[in-house]
Amino acid sequence: MMNKLTALHEGAPSCRINVVFDVYWKTSIKNAERCNRGATSGTQWKNIAPGHNIHQWRKFLSNPESKTSLVEFLVEQWKQPAKRERLQDKSLYVTCGEACYLITKDHWHEIQDLRSIKEEADTRMLLHARHASGDGYGSIIITAEDTDVLILCLCFSKTMACQKCGTQNRTRYIDIGKLASSVGEEVCQGLVGLHALTGCDTVSAFAGRGKLSALKHLKENETYQEAFKRLGEAWDVSADLFDKMQDFVCRLYASSSTTSDVNELRYQLFCAQRGEVESSQLPPCKDCLHMHVLRANYQTAIWRRCLVSEPVVPDPKGCGWTTGDDGSLEIEWMQGSPAPDAVLQLMSCKCACICKLPACVCLENQLKCTDMCKLQTCTNQRSEDEDEVAVELDESDTDDEEN
């Protein structure tokens, strides 16, 4: 967030300033990250007026609806004649929801060419940068701290002549054109998918596996470059593309291994450590990895369409997300069972009085309490109907084997 004085300070040497805000959707693939940041517990303000004194900015800005109200307030204030006088000979482009307004000293009006349905400012920035390039601006400075923006600038470096400004505490200018040339076109095109797969705001990261080692594998292997270039081109993931991603993840966890199957690699690593290994040290199973790749592909597909003002984006449900009981989007970590039924029936918790999160390991892993659990009267016990179904399925399997 920034006020007009901050915007004018950042754009002091420029004759055009673009201020791009996020749009905060109620149903969003960023819901999980917003919950981690305390969005549900933040202070909500619906109507903001001049003179409001906000004491706890962190709580205020953690609430999406409050940030939406703040953006609307700022834009309306910037449209006022007294505020426009400060622009002098500069042009200010500012977004508010789907709309974008051009504000000058003399007037303001909406710019239809920059109207967009994009949620994230990260992608919308590139749309504004291309618009400025089309208006004849030879050098564009993008002020941002997110790695996402740098990755997108490299991917679309041939579309516009832009630079990126560095961190909040230390400003530095990166010539995107020179950096893209040194990295190489194929690597730049693959970076978008690599960044999504190895962790971003909407996709989890691999525990203990950083981006530098992943980048090293990408730069050294043309097969991986081609595979990551394909990631996000379509909204679905082909079997061949998933196999390439699976092979890449195997190299992340064991570069010397010859297997390209994560389930087999999990077994090899488990045996090599004689069972003395934490689950975080193992690669995800194939089921979990498939859902992970679906989410990475979905996010990459959105990024690859950042220069389209109104891209056709399918429902994320079925692309690594599912709908919770309250209708909100939730991450779908896996589709199958986390372990064979024989193993699950042996799992137990040691809850003495009540089974509740986060103490109950059964609830934490979304499992029913079993006969092995210490407490036999909790509400998380498997019902008799579920037991009957399980018995019927077991008997059916036995009959099939006999036949």
Cα distance between residue 222 and residue 202, in whole Å = 27
Instruction: Please report, rounded to a whole number, the percentage of residues in the chain having pLDDT higher than 90.
Output: 52
Residue range 122-141: average pLDDT?
A: 89
Residue range 295-310: average pLDDT?
A: 95
The answer, yes or no, to whether residue 401 has pLDDT greater than 50, is no
Mean pLDDT across the chain: 85
User: Which pLDDT score is estimated for 378?
Assistant: 87
84-95 per-position pLDDT tens digit: 998 999 999 999
User: Which pLDDT score is estimated for 337?
Assistant: 74
User: Strand, coil or helix: what is 131?
Assistant: helix
What is the β-pairing status of strands 321-323 and 329-331? antiparallel
- Of 131, 108, 164, which Cα lies nearest the Cα of 309? 131
The answer, yes or no, to whether residue 149 has pLDDT greater than 70, is yes
Confidence of residue 2 (pLDDT cuts 50, 70, 90): very low
- Output the six-digit token pair for 200: 């971003």
User: Which pLDDT score is estimated for 372?
Assistant: 82
Is the pLDDT higher at 125 or at 368? 125
User: Residue ranges per domain, the chain?
Assistant: 4-178, 186-331, 346-391
Cα distance between residue 158 and residue 16, in whole Å = 21
Residue range 271-295: average pLDDT?
A: 91
User: Which pLDDT score is estimated for 174?
Assistant: 86
Residue range 179-198: average pLDDT?
A: 95
Least confident of 33-42, 168-177, 382-391: 382-391
**Residues near 310 by Cβ (< 8 Å), separated by ≥ 6?**
115, 116, 117
Q: What is the dihedral of CA 301, 302, 307, 308, to 10 degrees?
A: 100
| Angle at 364 (CA atoms; ends 359, 365), nearest 5 degrees | 145
CA 375 to centroid of chain Cα atoms: 39
- DSSP letter string over 270-300? HHHTTT---GGGSPPPHHHHHHHHHHHHHHH
| Angle at 319 (CA atoms; ends 313, 322), nearest 5 degrees | 105
User: Strand, coil or helix: what is 197?
Assistant: helix
216-255 per-position pLDDT tens digit: 999 999 999 999 999 999 999 999 999 999 999 999 999 9
39-74 per-position pLDDT tens digit: 555 566 667 777 777 777 778 777 888 888 899 999
